[in-house]
Amino acid sequence: MPLWLRPLVTGYRTVHLALLVNIPGNAVVGGGGGVLFTAGLSWLFLPVQTVITILVAVAPVPLTVRVFDVDLSTVLD
């Protein structure tokens, strides 16, 4: 890794984790679960940080349903 890129990658690990979980097409490593499994095996993330990161990463969907009062029963039928 180039030296100029190292602080960017290591300083924003949780942001990169949130982006990786949400990127479509990461099925090569098993989707979001595979990304989190690999992140857990690396021992670079604390459990509390990881849970907060995932909560923030997936929050737009439940917030959208709550704010715009989307009825999922009509969408899923």
Against a cut of 0.75, is the pTM above it? no
> Residue 77: is its pLDDT beyond 80?
no
Tens digit of pLDDT for each residue in 13-50?
Answer: 888 888 888 777 666 666 777 777 778 878 888 888 88
Cβ atoms of 21 and 57 closer than 8 Å: yes
Domain ranges of the chain: 6-76
Q: State how far the Cα of 13 lies from the Cα of 71, in Å rounded to an integer.
A: 35
CA atoms within 13 A on the CB side of 27: 2
- Degrees (nearest 5) of the Cα angle 9, 14, 27? 90
Report CA 6 to chain centroid distance, whole Å.
21
> Residue 75: is its pLDDT beyond 70?
no
Tens digit of pLDDT for each residue in 1-14?
Answer: 789 888 887 788 88
